[in-house]
Amino acid sequence: GPKVLQIPSHQIIDMGQMVTLNCDPVSNHLYFYWYKQILGQQMEFLVNFYNGKVMEKSKLFKDQFSVERPDGSYFTLKIQPTALEDSAVYFCASSSRDNANTEVFFGKGTRLTVV
Amino acid sequence: AQKVTQTQTSISVMEKTTVTMDCVYETRDSSYFLFWYKQTASGEIVFLIRQDSYKKENATEGHYSLNFQKPKSSIGLIITATQIEDSAVYFCAMTPASSSFSKLVFGQGTSLSVVP
């Protein structure tokens, strides 16, 4: 089936540094999402993105977070600067249509460890 | 705001038996979509089945089916003839139908272990 690829699978970074998480969504999808999962807890919505714009974000999407998809390449989540509480698994997802009942495809996640 | 609760942290069943995983939700929306996903040991998150709140019939998909009890705000997942490879963490999720974009609210997950 359709695959969302996330690179890298695991990243360790010093607190205060910048990190960029990369996502290669399903090729014909236009709607992109990031979710955050702290170890042992449920996934929580961070942000959705369409046509070059953030459409909706949660309170977890702090000012230090930003997303973009320059020129149809990777959909990225940038955290600058990172904090210890940013340690989590970040899941990228994509979908083809703009309604809530469309199947969303998830990547395998990037485990971010901030030390 | 929506809330999804899965009270079963982990379940262990014998292979080839039937298992039911519970999920209750809270929402003020009159129309919404309910989903079940599974997360495998490799981390892959796989969509399993969906229930539209305005449909009375329980959704079925292969050996997955749902027990939708709208008055109880409950959407249980039933897996029949379980297989070893069904071992995974199962997440219940919902999103309001009025939402222009998918914004899934997930439960805490239930870890299923299928043993021989």
Q: According to the model, what pLDDT value does residue A65 have?
A: 98
Q: According to the model, what pLDDT value does residue A101 have?
A: 65
Minimal Cα distance from A31: which residue of B?
B101
pLDDT digits (tens, 9 = 90+) for B49-101: 999 999 999 999 999 999 999 999 999 999 999 999 999 999 999 988 877 67
Least trusted range by pLDDT, from A26-35, A37-46, A97-106: A97-106
Residue B10 near residue B109 (C-beta atoms within 8 A)? no
Residue A47 near residue A30 (C-beta atoms within 8 A)? no
Q: According to the model, what pLDDT value does residue B1 have?
A: 81
Residue A37 near residue A43 (C-beta atoms within 8 A)? yes
pLDDT digits (tens, 9 = 90+) for A35-74: 999 988 889 999 999 989 999 999 999 999 999 998 778 9
Rounded to the nearest integer, the mean pLDDT of chain A is 92
Q: How far apart are CA B92 and CA B5, in angstroms?
A: 8
Contact flag A100-B33 (C-beta cutoff 8 Å)? yes
DSSP-based three-state secondary structure for B115 = strand
Q: How far apart are CA B75 and CA B27, in angstroms?
A: 13
Contact flag A109-B106 (C-beta cutoff 8 Å)? no
Report the percentage of chain A scoring pLDDT > 90: 77
**Alpha helices for B31-83 (secondary structure H):** none
Q: According to the model, what pLDDT value does residue B78 have?
A: 98
Rg of the Cα trace of chain B?
Answer: 14
Q: How far apart are CA B11 and CA B54, in angstroms?
A: 30
Residue A98 has pLDDT above 80, yes or no: no
Residue B102 has pLDDT above 80, yes or no: no
Helix (H) / strand (E) element for A50: namely strand A43-50
Contacts of A58 (CB under 8 A, 6+ apart): A44, A45, A46, A47
pLDDT band at A104 (very low <50, low <70, confident <90, very high): confident
Minimal Cα distance from A102: which residue of B?
B102
The average pLDDT across A92-97 equals: 89
> What residues of chain A, 43 to 82, have a C-beta less than 8 Å from chain B?
43-45, 48, 50, 55-56
From the list B92, B25, B39, B53, the residue with the least C-alpha distance to A106 is B39
CA atoms within 13 A on the CB side of A61: 18
Neighbouring CB atoms inside 10 A of A75's CB total 25
Q: How far apart are CA B70 and CA B91, in angstroms?
A: 19
Inform me whether the C-beta atom of residue A26 falls under 8 Å from chain B C-beta atoms: no
Tokens 């977070």, residue?
A: A65
Q: According to the model, what pLDDT value does residue A111 have?
A: 96
Q: How far apart are CA A2 and CA A27, in angstroms?
A: 8
Residue A102 has pLDDT above 80, yes or no: no
Least trusted range by pLDDT, from A22-36, B33-47, B88-102: B88-102
Report the percentage of chain B scoring pLDDT > 90: 84
